[in-house]
Structure 1
Amino acid sequence: MGESEGPRHGVEGRHNEPADERLDQLIKIALSDTDPDGPVRWQVITVLRERGDVEAFALARRLCASEATPERVLGADILGELGRGRPFMDRTLPVLRCLAASETDPRVLYAVLLAFGHLRDRRALPSVIELAEHTHPTVRYGAAYALPHVMGDPPDPAGVAALHRLAGDSDDDVADWASLGLTLGGGRSAADAVTGGEGDDVGGQILDP
């Protein structure tokens, strides 16, 4: 119990510090949790999501340009969750699409794909389709998750075709997730089916490639 109280104090207990120092401290706390689905890490992301201001967005964008892989992963995770109502959507998508096109680390690409899925914007579809052909199964798994979210309504034929290809993937987890997306017709994602429509708030924790 003491361990759970410590991180909570670390995330919420510094309100008298200058804003930039508070944000930097939050990032240090998040990075100290090396589990991508760790509770401390996602508590910090939740704090930033609720904060939802331009400073938090700028911080996430800066993390996405970091040379350190864990920072880029964290930056993508924050951008996928930042702000109720997605106030920075038009500024977030170019950052994520740039990462999708230039990144080589599967962990970062997976985070980018989860962010695309959370944002649910059809403009991400070309990036997701391209990553659906990636050689690493974790990236393809992320694409199988993201595609039903970004194919639009009615679903884009190119997105449906990509999901069909993933349904025949050599990796069973990829194939299963894509098949579930096809079963739901692209209008409701597999994550929604598992979580009852709360897929945006689980931080990717239901996905376990």
Structure 2
Amino acid sequence: MVATWRERAGDPRGVDELVRVALAEFDLSDEELRSATGALVALQFRPTREVLDRACELCRSADADERRLGVRVLGELRDLDDPAAALPAFVGESMEVLLALAATEPDTDVLIEVARAFGYRRDPRAVEPLLGWRRHEDPSIRFFVACSLRRCSTQDNEAQVVDALIELTGDEDGAVRDYALFGLRELEVDSAEVRDAMLRRVRDPDDSAAGEALVGLARLGDERAVAPLIERLQHPDSHRIIAYGLDAAIALANPRLLPALRLVEQRLGERPDVSQAIKACTEGR
């Protein structure tokens, strides 16, 4: 991955050409992007004043597509001193532009990019507009609110962030619920409200959301995860959640899970992750 970043950062094309090509490639499908030229990524991995200024200029354009591109570039300008850390570059300058757009932008597609960009900037100033969008009618905006809030959390705003993520675990969109639960799990906050929110979703129709809820509850040591986890492990389609289920089993280390884990072993054969879960539940906490 680092080699790819260095390759993109060394793209010989000028900024004007990269912008022109990136605009043409912006709405390509994932399949089409595989054969695209990577102009957008090249811009994001060129943290120069020239690229920053051009992205800010695009954000002031009358054309919504140009504003979208400007936001995408600003959101992911990377500090290349440590590529693996993917630290943001020009945070102050980019946040000034993004916050202004958050307050005034009329185009939903641009706002989606702003909500996404806030997560990459990791700046607590983004929490206020993100909180304001948690009930937005567009599920894509709510999705990026769920994705970005965790990354902008600090000790000072954590209570607000957690409350919003708890609310989003009840969203009508499965992907939003999934990332809200993931955010709560990553924040490692333990409270009755967080546990209850996770418990409500352990049988979520979205497999990924259910998996996040089970793992989150298990890592908090809440034994209310045991019964729904047994149900999931015994289900004929448990392969759809097996990674989550084994992770939760390891965290719980509860002998009650052993019969269900043995069934998984019969279905899947000997696997290191299954063996690890069985070992953890055999030894107990």
Separation in 1, partners of 2:53, 2:104 = 20
- 1:107-159 CA-to-partner distances (Å, cap 9, x unmatched) read 21111111111111112111111121211111111101101101124762111
- Which residue in 1 is equivalent to 2:24? 32
Select which of 55, 60, 74 maps to 2:55: 60
In structure 1, C-alpha distance between the alignment counterparts of 2:155 and 2:41, rounded to whole Å: 29
Amino acid in the other structure paired with 2:24: S
* Match in the other structure for 2:118: 116
Please give the alpha-carbon distance, in whole angstroms, between the structure 2 residues aligned to 1:186 and 1:131. Answer: 24
Q: For residue 107 of structure 1, what is the amino acid of its counterpart?
A: D
* Divergent runs of 4+, >3 A: 11-14, 36-42
Q: Which residue of the partner structure matches residue 77 of structure 2? A: 82
What is the TM-score with the length of structure 1 in the denominator? 0.73
Match of 1:50 in 2: 45
User: What is residue 127 of structure 2 aligned with on the other side?
Assistant: 125
Alignment of 1:1-209 (within 5 A): 12-14=11-13, 22-33=14-25, 34-35=27-28, 38=33, 43-84=38-79, 85-153=87-155, 156-185=158-187
RMSD of aligned alpha carbons: 2.7
Shift of 1:39: 5.1
Q: TM-score, normalised by structure 2?
A: 0.55
1:177 partner amino acid: Y
- What's the CA shift string for 1:89-120, capped at 9, x where partnerless? 11111111111111232221111111111111
Larger radius of gyration: 2
AA aligned opposite 1:125: V
Q: Which amino acid counterpart does residue 25 of structure 1 have in structure 2? A: E
For 1:58, give the aligned amino acid: D
Count the aligned residue pairs: 173
User: Post-superposition shift, 1:51?
Assistant: 2.3
Distance of 1:132 and 1:41 partners within structure 2: 34
* Percent identity for Structure 1 against Structure 2: 33
Q: Provide the secondary structure at the position in 2 that maps to 1:51.
A: coil
Q: Secondary structure at the match of 1:168?
A: coil
Q: CA deviation at 1:52?
A: 1.0
For structure 2, the residue ranges without an aligned partner over 5 or more in a row are 1-6, 80-86, 190-211, 213-285
Cα 1:42–1:158 change in 2 (3 A) is farther
Task: Pick closer, same or farther for the CA change 1:186–1:94 going to 2, 3 Å.
Answer: farther
